[in-house]
Amino acid sequence: MPNPRELISLLRGHKTYIQTHNFPDPDAIASAYGLQMLLKAFGIETKLCYDGSIDKLSTKRMLSLFDMDIVSVDGISDMEKTDYIVTIDGQKYNTNFTDLIGDEVACIDHHPTVIECEYQYKDVRIVGACASIVASYYKELNVPLSSSVASALAYGIKMDTADFTRGATDFDAQMFAYVFSNADVEKINSMYKNVMEFEDLKAYGAAIDNIKIYDRTGFAIIPFDCPDAMIAIISDFILALNVVDVSIVYAVRKDGLKFSVRSEVDNVDAGKLVFAALSGYGNGGGHKTMAGGFVPQEGRVRLGDNYPYVLQKLFLDQIKKMTV
C-alpha cells in the first residue's frame, strides 16, 4: 500500500499543481481540495486546476459553499515543464485528462488503469470514491480534519457511490464514517437542494424522446452538447427503468460523441464494454458499473451517416460476447 508520507517528501520544495479530470465532478473536487488542505498541513502549497468547464449547478455551489479556489488551465500562464502535477480522480493519457506541460509525478485515483504511465508516487485503488482514498491519508497521518474538509469529502463519497448503491466498498463506508464525525451535516444536506437547472430539462426530454431498448439494454441520444455530469445523470436515470440493466447514453458535440455507460449485469463490465465497443473509432474506460467514452469527429465520420444504428450494434455485439 502506498505511503502518503512518500508523497509529502516527493512534493516538498516543488511548485505543485493538483489536476482533476476534465469537467470535474464533486468527487474530483472534494478529493483535490482534501489533498490540498492535507499538504498545506505539512507546509506544501498547491494550486488546484482542471481543463474543460464546471457546468453543473451542484458543483458550482460546492465551490462556493466550501470556499474552494480551483482554476481552469486557460487561466494558468506560468506552468513550466519542471512544475510538479498530482493527477487526482483520473490518470494521465485518459481521454478525460488533458496532458499539461508540467511533470505528472504522482497519481491518486480509483479507476482501473487503461494506459500505463510511470509515476514517482502512485495510489490507484478500485474503490467507490477517490475522496475515500484522500480521507484515509488524514487518518493514517493523524492530521486533524476541519469541518469544511470533512464535509467536502463526505459529500464526494456520497455522490460518487450514489449514496452507497454503486461501486461502494467497505473501505468507502469506513472512510465516510471517519469524516462524517467532523462534517457539517446541514452544509451537506444543503447541497441536495435545487440542483437542477432549467437547461437540464432539455437534455432529459431529448433522451426520453430518443430512448430505445433492446434486450434490457437502453440507448439514448442527446442530439446536442451538454455537460459530462448531465450525461452521466441521464445514464443513471435510464438504468433505473425496470426494463434496463445496461444503459448507454451519448451526447452529440461539435468535436464528436461523448458517452456514459452504466451496468447492473455481473458479466457486463461497463469499462471493458465501452473500451471494446468504441475500439477503432474512439476510446473509453472506467469501472465495472460505470464508465465513459469519447468518439472524436473523425471516428464519427467512419461510423457513417447511420451512426446510431452502428453504435447500437457495436455495443450489443460486445454485450453478447460478455454474456454467452
pLDDT for 142-158, tens place per residue?
999 999 999 999 999 99
Kindly state the DSSP code that residue 211 receives in the 8-state scheme. -
Examine the pLDDT at 197 and tell me if it is beyond 80: no
284 touches 95 (CB < 8 A): yes
Domain boundary assignment for the chain:
4-190, 202-323
How far, in Å, CA of 217 to CA of 298, rounded?
Answer: 26
**CATH fold for the domain made of 202-323:** Diaminopimelate Epimerase; Chain A, domain 1 (3.10.310)
Residue 79 to residue 165: CA distance in whole angstroms:
40
Query: What is the average pLDDT across 265-270?
Result: 94
| 102, 156, 240 from 291: Cα distances, Å | 27, 17, 16
- pLDDT of 194 over the 70 cut: no
- Read off the pLDDT of residues 68-105 as tens digits, 9 standing for 90 and up: 999 998 889 899 999 999 999 999 988 789 999 999 99
- In the prediction, which pLDDT does 322 show? 95
Lowest mean pLDDT among 39-48, 125-134, 189-198, 269-278: 189-198
Mean pLDDT for 44-61 is 85
> What number of other Cβ atoms are within 10 A of residue 44's Cβ?
17
CATH architecture of 4-190: Alpha-Beta Complex (3.90)
At residue 163, does pLDDT exceed 70? yes
**Whole-number percent of the chain with pLDDT over 90:** 74
Helix (H, G, I), strand (E, B) or coil at 250: strand
What's the pLDDT tens digit per position in 11-28? 999 999 999 998 898 999
* DSSP-H helix ranges across the chain: 4-11, 26-40, 57-65, 130-141, 147-160, 170-180, 185-190, 198-210, 228-239, 270-277, 297-303, 307-323
**pLDDT tens figures, 268-324:** 999 999 999 999 999 888 889 989 999 999 999 999 999 999 999 999 999 999 998
- What is the rounded average pLDDT for all residues in the chain? 92
pLDDT of residue 257: 96
Answer whether residue 33 shows pLDDT above 80.
yes
According to DSSP, residue 70 is labeled E
pLDDT score of 193: 67
Set of cell numbers at residue 219: 440507448
